[in-house]
Structure 1
Amino acid sequence: MTREYNVAILGATGAVGRRMIEQLEQSSIPVKELKLLASSRSAGTKLPFRGKEYIVEETKPESFDGVDLVLSSAGGSVSKKFLPEAVKRGAVCVDNTSAFRMDPDVPLVVPEVNGEQLKNHHGIIANPNCSTIQMVMALEPVRRKFGLKQIIVSTYQASSGAGQSALNELNQEAQDYLDGKNMQEDAKILPTKGDKKHYPLAFNLLPQIDVFEEDGYSHEEWKMIHETKKIMLNDMDAPEIKVTATCVRVPVPISHGESVYFTVADETATAEDIRKVMADFPGVVVQDDPENQVYPQPIDAVGKRETFVGRIRPDQENKGAFNAWIVADNLLKGAAWNAVENAEYLVKEDLI
């Protein structure tokens, strides 16, 4: 008889939480009972799942009694407070926040890239940052075949990466701009809620995502550097691949874009070779026909689970170096779908 699982979604009413419900609905996971959890403010909200309506409950430690699997996207402080409680009660948790990503005892997993790390879990699995996920999806097949020496990435990150409220703020600013009003009055969240100043994103670019570290890098840039190393080499400080990042918030609702420059160890590799290994990798779709203006666009990636890559071309000045353009829905492969995909792997390998 097929085992069924009691599943809880923590942060069920948020932009990612709602998509976790949708992705779980479409997944292969046999769900016996579903619990939708959120803050007291959202308790009482009704959300659908597989033809039934579920009432969102306020999260408490005892909410996790009898739960086998937790999918979490409620913010780092909430994860730190409640996920150890869930583990204590026997649940396995897949967390979409940054709370546990750099913990050496917590696997940081993109299933297609390093799914085998799930076998080493101690109750909590971390979902990587959305911008990191799509980059390693595109570059892991290159690393396996030709070796990776260096990655230089500039991101073009959608407003929804900062949550539903940031997306709402962008929409309001755009409307005010078109109405000739002052957008500055709408800016209360971006570039990051926890910093001193806030700026409009509509018709603008913000070269700050998260707070700045002492070395001048934003925390988002720090995450991309160290998460990439941990996912690919199982060591957040691995020297074998040099990684640097510039992360920029752009006035796009959903789907991140990334301009990636990378250097391979095998200098005989051609752009066609790179194209082929990427196209053969599960979950990656190559859209690369410049002659016919075919390349990935954020607007086309919305609602899709795949990572899209195009503009693959060699650096004419440096042998073994290439450029690529990578796009993915930051709320799906960058968050909800990657979490559910991790859960599917756990179920398939009987790791819950």
Structure 2
Amino acid sequence: MNSLTRPRPALLTGLAVAAVGLTGASTAGAVVGGTPANRADFPYFTIVSGGCGGALITPNRVLTASHCGEGVQANREVRVGPDGIRRKAVLLAQHPVNLRELTRAQRDGVAVADLLLLQLDRAVPGVTPIPIARPADGLTAPGTVATTIGRGATQASGRGGGAFRSGVVRIQDPASCPDEISSRLDRFWSLCTRDPRLPAPSAPPPFVSACIGDSGGPLIVDRGAGPQLVATVSFGAHCGTQNDPEIYANAVNGRTWALSKRPPWTPAGTTRIEGKRRVGSKLKCVVDWLARPDRDVIFLWTGDSKLRQEGKRSFLRVGEKDRGSRLRCSARGGTAGGYGGTPQSKPVRVAR
């Protein structure tokens, strides 16, 4: 699955995977039908792992697409601004509605908020974050002209990625996009856009559209008081070759969550093993949580890379079969922001 445009069924598949590890199918690319853009004009634009974009919304937070979570988990480095300032995403949180509505989404095809929040290891200096528009600003109303930016594919074939481009689109009445956003939940968490020339029958392609590699990139509106973030790239189907709409995740409706002091971060931390390393003793898996889970906490023990014990107990009784083996432990769990855990601890060797 590519990194901007994906059909709705793939979106649901990505969210289902996200529920067990913040992973998901990726969806969008660079802007087809747009024009070359200067990175300095969009300093808050962030390159996120997995072929995605994002927006710096505070000095140490980036907003991107939830379906980009798999790439972020694999490589947590992000690059912010024209100079590509490198930072590490130490905490992740998808919007709580993703987990709350997951069962329903799997049952009747309801999509949820395609938003992922990244907490960076330290603030980004010299880059002004982009503010998220407030609902009262009215910047997501049908007819609003907005700018989409990205560095994914510039051709419907998926070629041309890496070039930074921008394009102008117009926010549509949700009723004009029934195939893409059909439910009340869809309409609340999604924005539908089209090339401003559409639906003029004589308008030739390519139409302005995000494409492969643009997922998570910002959709911005500027009415003279400076740019404001209204959405992030979620999915689409044809990279501007047809006059179908593109769908963005509504950042305005997620503003309170994205800027809250303590959003429900996906569990993360480090582990270590304490106790006597001999047969008959008990070892304990001690977790230093950076973000503590509040549900479904599981401890995993391995011996010489093979699963030794899995369950709610943090203790392991060392048996004869562990003699001389190298033991490691890890922990995982969930919050309203997703499921995650720790890497394996450093190994300890049981005495022979």
Q: TM-score range, shorter-chain basis?
A: under 0.3
TM-score, normalising length: structure 1: 0.21
TM-score, normalising length: structure 2: 0.21
Choose between structure 1 and 2: higher strand proportion. Answer: 2
